[in-house]
Structure 1
Amino acid sequence: MTHRLEVDSVHLQFGEREILTNVYLKCETGKITGLLGRNGTGKSSLMNLIFGNLVPGNKSVRFDGKSVPKAYQHHELLSYLPQYNFIPAHLSLTRVFSDFSLDFAAFEKCFPEFQQKYNSKIRQLSGGQRRLVETYVLIKSKSEFVMLDEPFSHLSPLMITAVKELIRQEQGNKGFLITDHMYHEVLDLANDLYVLAEEQVYLVNQIEDLERLGYARLSH
């Protein structure tokens, strides 16, 4: 059964500045949805609205047609990787993988550099390793939908390739909404693609739309 996450009628304003106006976006299980936009267009704000961390002037967030204004209270529905580190630095990898009910051996098989780090604290990891752990546990979470904000930041090329493969493997179990400044990685993954521009979200029908919407200059 396909499940659907929809957000519409979004209006967000900071002071006198309009950030989002009448936004509509849809994400379905079995699909990877990409969200692109220039800096400051409101991509992270939109994800926080969907998650329920940010309360706008107006919005409707629905899971299978049912309104869920505080999705952060429903981990079975939605998980969210923010731009900042969210796992406390004092926790051990043992505790993190236990809390998420995940097998560390499977993670270690994907990323051999973590061999013998099972008892390490998060603070002992490099920035890239810490980001990788946070991204991995959410990709593998039990949620129907996962939002990833800049998942490829600080990752090595080999790590990025492995993370993309993990997302594709999990695609059959859940829906993904992904934004990243490394937009070629998003383009490579996305089944559906939106661009945030001029306070609104536009569904991209062809790659040339990225240039038309002022997001990227494409080589001809």
Structure 2
Amino acid sequence: MNHILEVDGVMLSFGINRILQNVYLKCTTGNVTGLLGRNGCGKSCLMKIIIGDPLTEEKSIRINGKSLLGSSRLPEDLRYLPQHNFVPDSLSLERIFDDFEIDIEAFIESFPEFEQYRGMKMAHLSGGVKRILELYLVLKSKSKFVILDEPFSHIMPVHVDTIKNLILEEKSNKGILVSDHLYEHIMQISDEVYMIKNGRTFPIKSVEELHENGYVRLW
């Protein structure tokens, strides 16, 4: 079954500073939706609002036309990869995969070097290893939508293509909303891209449009 996540009417201010105003975006099953914008434009705030952070009451978040009220979100509806680590350091890899009901063998097939970490706890893993693990858990979870905030941060270049391929494979099962300052990756994997500028969202079709809107330089 295909699902539709729609976000509109978002208004967010901190003091006299208006961060978001009349934002709209849509994410659907089978699509990767990219979100770009300069640092401080409100990308992470918007993602947190979607997953239920009570930053503002002025918002409309809907899945298949049904409003998601309050701060409650069901894992089968939405999963979120924040910029910080979220898996407890006390857990082992095998326990984590059991808890998420995800096949650890498929994970190790994609990342063979993780075989050596199978019985280890999160506390003994490097930041980059943790990032790959948490990204995989969120991406492969049984959910209608996943939201990935900076999924390529702290990732070794050798793993970036693997992660992009996993995202493209998984989009047939869910809608994926992704943001990262490494805009080239976002443009390569996204079926549609929104940019936030002056608090508003608008569609972007090319790197040239990013340049025209002052986001990147082409020289």
TM-score by length of 1: 0.96
Retained in 2: the 8 A contact 1:81–1:135? yes
- The residue matched to 2:117 in structure 1 has which SS? coil
Residue in structure 1 matched with residue 191 of structure 2 by the alignment: 191
C-alpha contact 1:75 1:143 (8 A) present in aligned 2? yes
Match of 1:115 in 2: 115
Q: Deviations over 1:53-103 (max 9, x none)?
A: 133140000000000134653111110000111111111111110111011
Give how far 1:116 is off: 3.2
Say yes or no: does 1:127 pair with 2:131. Answer: no
For residues 13-37 of structure 1, the C-alpha deviation after alignment (integer angstroms, 9 at most, x for no partner) is: 1111100001001001100000000
Preserved CA contact (<8 Å) 1:50 1:71: no
**1:62 touches 1:68 (CA, 8 Å); kept in 2?**
yes
Structure 1 spans left out of the alignment, 5+ residues: none
Distance 1:87 1:206 in 2: 36
Percent identity for Structure 1 against Structure 2: 48
Contact 2:33 2:191 in 1 (8 A): yes
Give the direction of change, closer, same or farther, for the CA distance of 1:72–1:142 in structure 2 (3 Å limit): farther
CA RMSD of aligned residues (A): 1.2
Distance 1:72 1:165, change over 3 A: farther
Give matches, 1:133-172, under 5 Å.
133-172=133-172
Partner of 2:176: 176
The question of whether the paired residues in 1 share the 8 Å contact of 2:4 and 2:28 is answered with yes
**Cα distance, 1:175 vs structure 2:** 0.7
Task: Indicate how the Cα distance of structure 1 residues 106 and 186 shifts in structure 2: closer, same or farther if over 3 A, else same.
Answer: same
State the SS of the aligned residue for 1:115.
helix
Counterpart CA distance in 2 for 1:132 and 1:72 is 27
Contact 1:29 1:172 in 2 (8 A): yes
Q: SS state of the match for residue 113, structure 2?
A: helix
Question: CA–CA distance in 2 between the matches of 1:206 and 1:153?
Answer: 23
Which contiguous aligned blocks of 4+ residues in structure 1 show a shift greater than 4 angstroms? none
Q: 2:73 is matched with which residue?
A: 73
Q: Deviations over 1:151-173 (max 9, x none)?
A: 01111112111111111111110
Query: Offset at 1:197?
Result: 0.6
Aligned pair count? 219
SS at match of 2:207: coil
Secondary structure at the residue paired with 1:107?
A: helix
- Residue identity matched to 1:192: E
Query: How far apart are residue 201 of structure 1 and its match?
Result: 0.7
Contact 1:71 1:78 in 2 (8 A): no
The residue aligned with 1:209 is 209
Q: 1:70 to 1:103 in 2, by over 3 A?
A: farther
Aligned partner of residue 176 in structure 2, secondary structure: strand
User: What CA distance in whole angstroms lies between the structure 2 residues aligned with 1:26 and 1:71?
Assistant: 20
Question: Larger deviation: 90-99 or 48-57?
Answer: 48-57
Q: Which residue matches 1:61?
A: 61
Shift of residue 194 of structure 1? 0.4
Q: Give CA deviations for 1:113-137 in whole Å, capped at 9, x if unaligned.
A: 1113211001111111000000001
| Cα deviation, residue 216, structure 1 | 1.1
**Contact 1:34–1:177, Cα closer than 8 Å, also in 2:** yes
For residues 6 and 175 of structure 1, the distance between their equivalents in structure 2, rounded to whole angstroms, comes to 11
What TM-score does the superposition give when structure 2 sets the normalisation length?
0.96
